[in-house]
Amino acid sequence: SNSFSLSPFINGNISTLLNWNFRFSWEKSILKISNMPSRSSNNFIYSGSVTVTPCSLITWTIGGEFYRNQIEEEHYKKMFMLDTKLTFNISKRIEVSASITNLLNKKEYSYTSYGTVSQYERSSKLRGREFMISIYLKKWCGFLIPINLNGWNNMTPCSVECRVLRWYAVTMGRIIVLN
pLDDT exceeds cutoff 90 at 88: yes
Residues sharing a CB contact under 8 Å with residue 134, sequence separation 6 or more, in sequence order: 95, 96, 97, 98, 99, 142, 143, 144, 145
Rounded distance, CA 19 to CA 13, Å? 4
Dist. CA 160–CA 100, nearest whole Å: 17
Q: What is the mean pLDDT of the chain?
A: 77
Task: For residues 52 and 63, give the distance between their C-alpha atoms in angstroms, rounded to a whole number.
Answer: 12
Query: 119-178, pLDDT tens digit by residue?
Result: 778 788 888 899 899 888 776 544 544 444 444 444 433 333 333 343 333 333 343 334
Tell me how long the chain is. 179
Residue type, 39: R
Span 63-75, pLDDT tens digits: 999 998 887 778 8
